[in-house]
């Protein structure tokens, strides 16, 4: 029987109702007690690394999770991380970059309702996660939620209350779990070698979400204070005319430094392609801009945090950004 380590971080799944609202209050061991059926699936041990609402999740918390997995890696066959749903997709993406080449599964899960409620999705999600983590073919970082298995770099929370809270963006579900049975859509290529663990995540990456009528002065502030600006543009990606002059001024001003602008899109599905319209083609051509293409925003942000944390030059960072990790990018027209 497989031996799985359950890592508690808080979140809705472990929350209790208080006078001020739902607050994480159950330990990992408390949560586990609600699914006695797990005894037929695998042997589980628990550790509580934090107890927070996932709104408060930071890269320092990610490092804590990674350190827990690294310290226990040789002692377990897999890992299940219980997490709040609000930033779960960011954490799964971050773990995909901070723990690479893992032959052992690292499953991230949570729920929309606390496990202590009479009506909840928590028990199913957690039991499914152990079923998936205990399977011989499972590996690397993934999310198990609402009977679906999503690659760790491909998830997005697109429903605030419904049980089917997460979708897989621009990539098929890896598998579904029906009545305790895993139905795999995409066969896994067995991981070879040893896992790699990383801890340096840069805080010099930021996000600019464009909206009609934006004051161009915000560009100057962001270029001054950050190394990498991810621009979440409209449609397939481009720069509004009202921002163009300031953007060109800033790109010229910082061209001999390690500052970068990276283009992505506010549209969840089908990705960016700056060459389609004039508002994107010229900017991409003039500055050879990095473009996220089919990557999720969550994967784009955390990958850039990881890459900048590696202190790569812009040329090396550009090459590494377009290198596929845990199925994060398919379309790579550099």
Q: How far apart are CA 160 and CA 80, in angstroms?
A: 23
Q: Is the pTM of this model over 0.75?
A: yes
Q: Torsions phi, psi of 38, nearest 5?
A: -65, -20
Q: So what's the pLDDT on residue 277?
A: 47
Range 294-299 average pLDDT: 96
The token duo for 222 is 């962001």
Q: So what's the pLDDT on residue 244?
A: 87
DSSP E strand stretches across the chain? 3-10, 15-18, 21-24, 43-52, 78-82, 99-100, 105-109, 140-145, 148-151, 155-157, 166-168, 175-178, 181-184, 196-197, 205-209, 228-233, 260-265, 290-291
Range list of H helices, the chain:
28-32, 59-72, 88-98, 122-133, 217-225, 241-253, 278-287, 297-309, 314-321
In this structure, are residues 272 and 291 in contact, taking their beta carbons and an 8 Å threshold?
Answer: yes
Average pLDDT, the chain: 92
58 in active site:
no
Bridging pattern class, strands 228-233 and 15-18: unpaired
Enumerate domains of the chain plus CATH numbers. Answer: 3-197 (3.40.50.1170), 205-321 (3.40.50.40)
From the candidates 9, 12, 68, 120, give the one annotated as an active-site residue. Answer: 12
User: Does 281 score more than 80 pLDDT?
Assistant: no
174-179: long-range contacts at Cβ-Cβ below 8 A with a sequence spacing of 24 or more?
A: 174/142, 174/149, 174/150, 175/132, 175/148, 175/149, 176/147, 176/148, 176/149, 177/128, 177/131, 177/132, 177/144, 177/147, 177/148, 177/149, 178/147
Q: So what's the pLDDT on residue 237?
A: 76
Q: So what's the pLDDT on residue 279?
A: 55
**What is the tens place of the pLDDT at every residue in 163-182?**
999 999 999 999 999 999 99
* Residue 121 CA: distances (Å) to CA of 12, 18, 115, 116, 145: 11, 20, 7, 10, 9
pLDDT band at 20 (very low <50, low <70, confident <90, very high): low
Q: So what's the pLDDT on residue 76?
A: 98
Quick one: which of 22, 18, 41, 306 has its CA closest to 153? 306
- How long a stretch of residues is the chain? 334
Range 223-238 average pLDDT: 90
């Amino acid at each position: 029987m497989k031996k799985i380590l359950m890592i508690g971080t808080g979140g809705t799944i472990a929350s209790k109702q208080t006078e001020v609202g739902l607050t994480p209050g159950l330990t990992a061991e408390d949560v586990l007690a609600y699914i006695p059926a797990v005894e037929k699936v695998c042997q589980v041990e628990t550790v509580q690394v934090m107890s927070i609402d996932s709104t408060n999740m930071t890269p320092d918390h990610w490092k804590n999770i990674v350190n827990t997995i690294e310290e226990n890696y040789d002692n377990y066959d897999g890992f299940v991380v219980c997490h709040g749903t609000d930033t779960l997709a960011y954490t799964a993406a971050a773990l995909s970059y901070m723990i690479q080449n893992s032959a052992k599964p690292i499953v991230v899960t949570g729920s929309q309702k606390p496990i202590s409620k009479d009506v909840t999705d928590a028990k199913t999600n957690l039991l499914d996660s152990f079923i998936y983590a205990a399977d011989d073919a499972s590996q690397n970082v993934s999310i198990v939620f609402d009977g679906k298995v999503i690659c760790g770099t491909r998830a997005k929370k697109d429903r605030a209350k419904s049980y089917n809270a997460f979708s897989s963006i621009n990539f098929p579900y890896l598998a579904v779990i029906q009545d305790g049975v895993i139905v795999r859509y995409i066969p896994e290529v067995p991981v070879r070698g040893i896992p790699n663990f990383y801890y340096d995540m840069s805080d010099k990456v930021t996000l600019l979400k464009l909206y009609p009528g934006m004051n161009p002065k915000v560009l100057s502030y962001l270029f001054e204070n950050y190394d990498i600006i991810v621009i979440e543009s409209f449609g397939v990606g481009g720069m509004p005319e009202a921002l163009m002059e300031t953007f060109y001024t800033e790109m010229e001003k910082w061209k001999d430094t390690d500052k970068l602008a990276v283009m992505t899109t506010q549209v969840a599905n089908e990705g960016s392609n700056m060459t389609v319209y004039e508002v994107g083609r010229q900017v991409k051509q003039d500055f050879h801009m990095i473009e996220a293409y089919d990557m999720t925003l969550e994967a784009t942000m955390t990958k850039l945090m990881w890459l900048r944390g590696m202190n790569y030059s812009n040329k090396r960072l550009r090459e590494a950004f377009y290198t596929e990790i845990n199925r994060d990018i398919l379309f790579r027209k550099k």
